[in-house]
Amino acid sequence: MSERLNILYEDNHLLGIVKDAGLLIQGDRTGDITLLDLARDYVKRKYKKPGNVFLGLVHRLDRPVSGVVFFARTSKAASRLSNEFRLRQVEKVYWAVVEGELRERTGSLESHLGRSKKRSHRAKGSSAGAKPAILCYRLLSTRKGLSLVEVRPSTGRHHQIRVQLSDAGYPIVGDVKYGASEALSARQIALHGVALSVKHPVKEEIITIQAPPPEDFPWNQFRTAIEARFQ
């Protein structure tokens, strides 16, 4: 089961892994295998640990999203990392391929988001439950009516990047829930957590993990730009 894992960082306190698009990060009512299952199995086998293996889930990626993820290997690390995410002391960088060619090379998107069940939506700031959502973006490349965009969210709202890019007129490729023209295969959308930086819970130094996006469509339309970053 563990052979599917792409390990980026590992010590006694942290485990950094790449999550594939379409893979759950933690269990739900489907009962499908999760990244947490795979990571626990990896630790159990590598270190020959008896019984249940502790791994703390301190942040999440949506099922159709790929990207880098940190797990905490101790309860102390989990508590400290959770606090970092709560206080927005981490740096998260995403890449997205969106429909359309951006008019501005850089900019920011600010709005309020509300949530109903499994969807989020733009809302008035005065609406009950509405929360501010802010992100900055940078255009990396355009090709055949698509844009490769780097996104740095300042807030961590439910489906924030997906909703805000769609509201701006640039839905993420494959994200039919939020306005994309058609779906992609294998339960994926063209959104990838490319880099994540946290303060190590014990060593007090900044740890960064990063990984390139998948190689299939639509990422393969931007191979030159991607290779320039990950050569």
pLDDT at 199: 97
pLDDT at 51: 85
Residue whose C-alpha is closest to residue 70's, from 22, 10, 2, 27: 10
pLDDT at 174: 98
Residue 203 exposed, middle or buried by CB count within 10 Å (0-12, 13-18, 19+): exposed
Catalytic member of 62, 167, 175, 216: 62
pTM of the predicted model, to two decimals? 0.94
Low-confidence ranges of the chain (pLDDT < 50): 1-2
CB atoms under 10 Å from CB of 147, counted, come to 21
- H or E element: which one contains 38? helix 35-47
Q: What is the pLDDT of residues 45-63, one digit of tens each?
A: 999 988 889 999 999 999 9
Residues 6+ apart with CB under 8 A from 2: 38, 41, 42, 45, 46
Residue type, 230: F
Active site annotation includes 62: yes
In three-state secondary structure terms, 44 is helix
Question: CA separation (Å) from 84 to 39, 77, 125, 128, 220?
Answer: 22, 11, 26, 27, 34
pLDDT at 2: 46
The reply to whether CATH 3.30.2350.10 applies to domain 2-229 is yes
Burial 47-85 (b: 16+ CB within 10 A, else e): eeeeeebebbbbbbbbbbbbbbbbbbbbeebbebbbebb
Question: What gap in Å lies between CA 208 and CA 210, rounded to an integer?
Answer: 7
